[in-house]
Amino acid sequence: MGLKSGRIKYPFILPSMIWVLAFTIFPLIYSFGLSFFRVRLGRPATFVGLNNFARIFSDYKLGNSLRVTLMYVAVTVSIQLALGILIALLFHQEMKGKSIFRALLILPIFCTPVAVGYLGLTIFYEEGGPLNSILMSLFGWKIPWLSSPFWAWVAVLLLDIWQWTPFCFLVILAGLQSLPEEIYDAAYIDSSSEWEIFRKITFPMVQPVVVIVLLLRLIESFKIFDVIYSLTGGGPGTATEVYSLYTYRTGLKFFDFGYASALGYVLLAMVMVVVNLFFRRVRQVYE
């Protein structure tokens, strides 16, 4: 690394550092301040100390959204990861049309989440939507996709798994393809069981990649908002009201800015805990 003079290094890096400070640290400080006030549109703010944070513990709607979010994150991320690994193993060999398949599998990742939710509304439509009409003709019953709390949850999960499994697949496949082949030559002499080779060689070697995928999916899953906003709007009732949606409504529908800021900080704290579990690994990657 390194050109000698380096006179341009500060002019090159400072603008973006200042920009980031201005647009992330400042709002964070601002909202930290807000969280100690009762702030409503059109009325002067009043200092309430830790009241907003105290309210968190007695807010049953918050408890619900927390439960929904954690369930959602745990289920969706583990399914995506498991399917991603399986599909990556499936595609990790010579196959006709592999590059076209791979290209098609990329598409869901870049689909606008709101649009995915809206397509979901038509797919899961209960009277004559495609899924239910197939179920009706095959089995003679249908699923109350969006009117039952449980099935609405399943519908959200299905869309999310649809959209993000390809991401897990793609990255893990890249990891698999970067493994040196010589190791396998030796392994196949010693052992003939594919499962054993996967368990003892392949998995340990792609494990760093799996960890990165896991971290990225965890971070993104805590942000979930768009798909739920357009598919269920948090309903029926509050069955799919995730944390982001609850915070958004508190702040920008009911204009309870102070409490919403406190809620935001709780979410940030949760994500920070998750990220810190991985922190050393992330730093190593950028060595």
Q: Which 59-98 positions form the footprint of another protein (CB under 8 A)? A: 87, 90-96
Is the Cβ of residue 75 or residue 268 nearer to another protein in the bound state?
268
CB 159 within 8 A of CB 227: yes
Which one of residues 46, 54, 61, 184 is an interface residue with another protein (CB under 8 A)? 184
CB 277 within 8 A of CB 51: no
DSSP bridge pairs for 67: none
Quote the distance between the C-alpha of residue 51 and its chain's center: 31
266 phi, psi to nearest 5 deg: -65, -40
Helices marked H in 21-148: 26-34, 51-58, 60-91, 98-110, 113-123, 130-139
Interaction of residue 204 with another protein, rule CB under 8 A: no
Interaction of residue 118 with another protein, rule CB under 8 A: yes
Q: Give the nearest distance from C-beta 149 to another protein in angstroms.
A: 20
- Identify which range of 58-66, 72-80, 110-118, 144-152 contacts another protein by CB under 8 A: 110-118
Interaction of residue 103 with another protein, rule CB under 8 A: yes
- Separation CA 190–CA 132 (nearest Å): 51
Interaction of residue 20 with another protein, rule CB under 8 A: yes
Name the residue among 113, 112, 106, 111 with its Cα closest to residue 87. Answer: 106
Q: Give the nearest distance from C-beta 287 to another protein in angstroms.
A: 6
Interaction of residue 128 with another protein, rule CB under 8 A: yes
Interaction of residue 207 with another protein, rule CB under 8 A: no
Interaction of residue 132 with another protein, rule CB under 8 A: no
- Which of the 8 DSSP states describes residue 201? I
Per CB under 8 A, which of residues 240..269 are in contact with another protein?
243-244, 247-248, 251-252, 257, 260-261, 264-265, 267-268
Is the Cβ of residue 68 or residue 209 nearer to another protein in the bound state?
209
> 3-state DSSP call for residue 59?
coil
